[in-house]
């Protein structure tokens, strides 16, 4: 073969291979999900851009512990080696809404893009955010940066579970130097308005009563016993009328390291608070920082895509319009009762907001009794098919099971709004001093009837089991 011809063949083969290898090498690592553990970070540390964001910037450096000493999680200083410090004062900035000046708001797109470029971030970078992680609030600073990146269109980002504190507790090395990155090329390509609401959106939600409002502050602020003085005016102590409480400190270990609780633990806590983690939800706090931790848990970890953050939060609610209503300790129970009474479900399954009076206790009893009767008749009619030939019995059995499951789901939807009223009545039945005397008999009769229906439902379930499995 002539040398020239061999060279041409080699060129045709080598160039595509070279380009293919270049493409494979340049492909950015994709984070495995919204949360990563320290082990994963240690394995992929050279492939990611590690960002450290905290309000106490001085703790990013600090002083290493002496020989033989371990880092104090409560007074933790230092950072994960290679972590780039992101100034908190550039993550949230002064802004405005409806012409009123506000603080701790989302930065403008170009300002945020400049911050990310200064932090060495490109649009194809895999980002890991590692805050100080000693308390739940430390994690909230990290989730606020996470939210901002998502809002401005960067999806390849994850949170280090437990932050720097978890890294240190596992005996991994800390660094105490300033990391200076190369200039990045980050640019904002989109803004996701569906992740954010403003004050007008919250006003509409309060009026319609069709969205769940969650207050992520501590309960002393929710109840108006205290307030953040530089964010909320004194006459607006308390919470937005109709809002439920889910404090951010109940989402992660506040004693440190601030790892998030398991999803089952979070759901159990939410159930105790009467919070539906799967409902369309708006979250707020004082300035939108600790609420970002709630948003992260609902939207990213639990997958509730109909979850939005109120950026201005109580700071905007209390300053934009003095007429904005708030509820404090005395009104908290009235708000919950009004919220429960304002929602009912139509026969087609669509929910409508009603501003009229709540249904009577006897109406709840009658509705539940009728539903139990319909279910009992349906599945015992189907169970009578056990005397038929085997194929017919199997068909009846399958149809009955499907109908039984459908009826249980319908019953759950129909009575979930009355659960709070039932629980309150149970409490009031054994605390008569909290109600006027003329209501005692009505409440006790209601509790007695509902308990009887509870026993009837349990008995029906036992009969159904025996009909299916007589052995």
Q: What is the mean pLDDT of residues 439-449?
A: 67
Once rounded to an integer, what is the mean pLDDT over residues 162-169?
A: 97
Provide the Cα torsion 328, 334, 336, 337; round to 10°.
180
Based on the domain organization, do 45 and 165 belong to the same domain?
A: yes
Give residue 111's domain range. Answer: 27-62+73-191
Q: Is residue 184 part of a domain?
A: yes
Pairing of strands 244-245, 326-327: unpaired
411 and 343 within one domain = no
Give domain status of residue 113, yes or no.
yes
Whole-number average pLDDT of the chain:
80
β-partners of residue 214 are: 244, 283
pLDDT higher than threshold 70 for residue 412: no
Q: Is 90 exceeded by the pLDDT of residue 238?
A: yes
CATH number, residue 106: 3.40.250.10
> Residues 404, 432: one domain?
yes
pLDDT at 420: 56
Domain end marker among 153, 173, 191: 191
- Better pLDDT: 315 or 468: 315
Say whether both 342 and 199 belong to one domain.
yes
Is residue 123 exposed (0-12), middle (13-18) or buried (19+ Cβ within 10 Å)?
A: middle
CA 264, distance to chain mean position in Å, is 13
Q: In this structure, is residue 245 part of a structural domain?
A: yes
Judgement on whether residues 291 and 272 belong to the same structural domain of the protein: yes
4 belongs to a structural domain: no
Q: Please state the domain count of the chain.
A: 3
Give φ, ψ of 100 to 5 degrees. -95, 130
CA angle 392, 395, 401 (to 5 degrees): 140
Please give the Cα distance from 283 to 212 (Å, whole number).
8
Mean pLDDT in residue range 274-280: 96
**Spatial contact of 286 and 314, defined as CB atoms under 8 Å apart:** yes
What's the rounded mean pLDDT across residues 271-286? 96
Average confidence (pLDDT) over 367-372: 77
Regarding whether 331 and 198 lie in a shared domain, the answer is: yes
Residue 240 has pLDDT above 90, yes or no: yes
Q: Is the pLDDT of residue 5 over 60?
A: no
Nearest to 238 by CA among 258, 259, 223: 223
Same domain, 245 and 324: yes
126 exposure class (CB count in 10 Å sphere: 0-12, 13-18, 19+):
middle
373 and 266 in a single domain? The answer is no
Question: Bigger pLDDT: 5 or 378?
Answer: 378
Domain boundary among 324, 353, 382: 353
- pLDDT of 268: 95
Q: Show the DSSP H helices in 57-192 as ranges.
A: 88-91, 109-118, 136-151, 163-169
Tokens of 389: 């030939």
**Residues 38 and 182 both lie in one domain:** yes
- Looking at the domain assignment, is residue 386 inside a domain? yes
Average pLDDT value for residue range 270-276: 95
Q: Of the candidates 353, 379, 398, which is a domain's last residue? A: 353
């Amino acid at each position: 073969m002539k040398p020239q011809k061999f060279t041409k063949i080699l060129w045709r083969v080598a160039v595509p291979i070279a380009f293919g290898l270049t493409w494979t090498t340049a492909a950015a690592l994709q984070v495995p999900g919204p949360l990563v553990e320290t082990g994963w970070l240690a394995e992929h540390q050279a492939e990611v851009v590690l960002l450290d964001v905290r309000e106490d910037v001085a703790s990013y450096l600090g002083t290493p512990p002496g020989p033989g000493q371990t880092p104090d999680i409560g007074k933790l200083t230092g950072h994960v080696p290679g972590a780039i410090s992101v100034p908190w004062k550039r993550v949230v900035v002064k802004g405005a809404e409806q012409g009123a000046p506000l603080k701790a708001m989302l930065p403008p797109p170009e300002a945020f893009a400049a911050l990310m470029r200064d932090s060495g971030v490109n649009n194809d970078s895999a980002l890991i955010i590692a805050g100080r992680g000693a308390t739940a609030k430390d994690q909230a600073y990290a989730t606020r940066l996470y939210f901002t990146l998502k809002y401005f269109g960067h999806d390849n980002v994850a949170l280090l579970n437990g932050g720097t504190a978890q890294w240190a507790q596992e005996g991994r090395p800390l660094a105490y130097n300033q990391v200076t990155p190369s200039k990045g090329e980050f640019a904002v390509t989109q803004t996701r308005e569906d992740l954010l609401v403003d004050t007008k959106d919250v006003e509409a939600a309060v009026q319609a009563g069709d969205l769940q409002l969650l207050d992520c502050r501590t309960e002393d602020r929710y109840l108006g016993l205290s307030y953040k003085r530089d964010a909320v005016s004194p006459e607006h102590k308390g919470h937005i009328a109709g809002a439920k409480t889910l404090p951010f400190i109940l989402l992660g270990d506040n004693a440190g390291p601030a790892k998030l609780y398991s999803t089952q633990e979070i759901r159990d806590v939410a159930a105790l608070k009467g919070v539906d983690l799967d409902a369309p939800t708006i979250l707020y706090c004082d300035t939108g920082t600790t609420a970002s931790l709630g948003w992260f848990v609902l939207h990213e970890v639990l997958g509730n895509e109909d979850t939005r953050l109120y950026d201005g939060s109580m700071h905007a609610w209390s300053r934009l319009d003095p007429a904005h209503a708030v509820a404090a300790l005395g009104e908290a129970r009235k708000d919950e009762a009004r919220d429960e009474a304002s929602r009912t479900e139509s026969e087609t399954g669509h929910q409508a907001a009603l501003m009229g009076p709540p249904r009577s206790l006897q109406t709840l009893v009658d509705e539940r009794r009728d539903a139990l009767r319909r279910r009992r008749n349906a599945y015992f009619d189907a169970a009578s098919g056990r005397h038929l030939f085997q194929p017919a019995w199997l068909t009846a059995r399958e149809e009955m099971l499907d109908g039984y499951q459908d009826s249980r789901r319908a019953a759950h939807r129909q009575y979930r709004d009355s659960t709070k009223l039932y629980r309150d009545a149970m409490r009031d039945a054994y605390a008569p001093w909290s109600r006027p005397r003329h209501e005692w008999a009505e409440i006790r009769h209601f509790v007695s009837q509902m308990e009887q229906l509870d026993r009837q439902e349990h008995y029906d379930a036992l009969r159904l089991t025996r009909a299916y499995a007589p052995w």
